[in-house]
Amino acid sequence: MSEQRIAIAGCTGRMGRMLIEATLKGEGVSLVSAFDQPGNPFIGRDAGELLGASCGVTIGDDARGAIDTADCLIDFTRPEGTLEHLEICRSLGKAIVIGTTGFSAVQKQQIEAAGKDIPVVFAPNMAVGVNAVFKLLAEAARILDEGYDVEVIEAHHRYKVDAPSGTALRMGEVVAAALGRDLDQCAIYGREGVTGERDPRTIAFSTIRGGDIVGDHTVLFAGLGERIEITHKSGSRMPYALGSLRAARYLKGRAAGLFDMQDVLGLR
């Protein structure tokens, strides 16, 4: 099978640089274009300079032109920008891997609609290990369905703009579904003041922001006399990049459809 030609949005950011590195080293993929917003100081320079070398791909600011040269776009930018790029992919018939978080319910519907026309992988977290944790959480929740309080604790760097993280919310969704609950109805986001006794049917979220924490997530099942914790900690952004490339390869030759990493990894 021929290589999947990759375009990278937001290529000069922290995640964009990691995606460039992973793509240049990856098997079954090739970097054909990279772009960022107009006015970025790296526009017109070789994308490899972001890693201290050259790769022959020039950073541009024309999203449509960059996407048109590729088979698949990988996008970890912001919701508004990602949706603009999604519509370009849709008009050009290109695949897209979306790692951006912070979408509203209406914006998620736009992504779902695009999946009727083009192949899309959309997931709150692209890391293979995190998606293994999602699977473990569903099983743990079914076993611990009585007498255990559920708390989701997540920590990220000071620059993250959405909270709780998309991964934390997905963990809550997985647990809620396994317990037969609606997360919209049972979620608690932070506590302050006299809160009263804990409602045993709630799923609570705690958010930490500081320093350069890449991403830590823990789901705590707290019972009487014992605690079960399922934790994933990211030491770098490379797992997200590697998972994204795995998703891009998964989309090679596929017809339209909306997929997530559980599909990519065969965990359904």
Calpha distance 125→131 (Å, rounded): 7
In the chain, the domains with their CATH numbers are 4-126+237-264 (3.40.50.720), 128-234 (3.30.360.10)
Q: Please give the pLDDT value at position 2.
A: 82
Beta strands 72-75; 187-189: pairing state: unpaired
Query: How confident is the prediction for the chain on average, in pLDDT?
Result: 96
Burial class (CB in 10 A: 0-12, 13-18, 19+), 217: buried
Looking at the chain, the whole-number percentage of residues with pLDDT higher than 90 is: 95
Q: What's residue 112's pLDDT?
A: 98
Express each pLDDT in 72-94 by its tens digit.
999 999 999 999 999 999 999 99
Question: The tokens of 192 are what?
Answer: 């302050």
pLDDT at 58: 98
Token pair 């897209």 in the structure block, residue: 96
| Beta partners for residue 95, in sequence order | 72
Cβ within 8 Å of residue 187, ≥6 positions away: 172, 202, 203, 204, 205
Q: Which of 267, 227, 252 is nearest to 144 (CA)?
A: 227
Q: Tell me the pLDDT tens digit for each residue of 35-75.
A: 999 999 999 999 999 999 899 999 999 999 999 999 999 99
**What is the tens place of the pLDDT at every residue in 165-215?**
999 999 999 999 999 999 999 999 989 999 999 999 999 999 999 999 999
Residue type, 13: G
The per-residue pLDDT for 95 is 98
Mean pLDDT of 21-43: 97
Per annotation, catalytic residue among 160, 232, 233, 252: 160
Catalytic residue at 160? yes
Residue 115 has pLDDT above 70, yes or no: yes
Q: What share of the chain has pLDDT > 70, as a percent?
A: 100
> What is the pLDDT averaged over residues 129-157?
97
CA distance 121 to 244: 9
| Nearest-angstrom CA–CA distance, 50 and 38 | 17
In this prediction the pTM is: 0.85
Residue 18 and residue 34 in contact, taking contact as beta carbons nearer than 8 Å: no
Q: Does 25 qualify as catalytic in the annotation?
A: no
- DSSP conformation letters of 177-197: HHTT--HHHHEEE---S---S
In which residue are the tokens 């000071």 written? 158
Q: Are 109 and 249 in contact (CB under 8 A)?
A: no
Q: What is the mean pLDDT of residues 231-252?
A: 96
| Burial class for 46, CB neighbours closer than 10 Å (0-12, 13-18, 19+) | middle
Residue that wins the pLDDT comparison between 162 and 62: 62
Contact 9, 16 (CB under 8 A): yes
Report the pLDDT value the prediction gives residue 1, as an integer from 0 to 100: 58
> Tokens at residue 179, please?
């317990």
For the chain, the maximum distance between any two Cα atoms, rounded to a whole number of angstroms, is: 61
| pLDDT at position 90 | 98
Q: Which of 85, 94, 156, 232 is catalytic?
A: 156
More confident residue, 85 or 2: 85
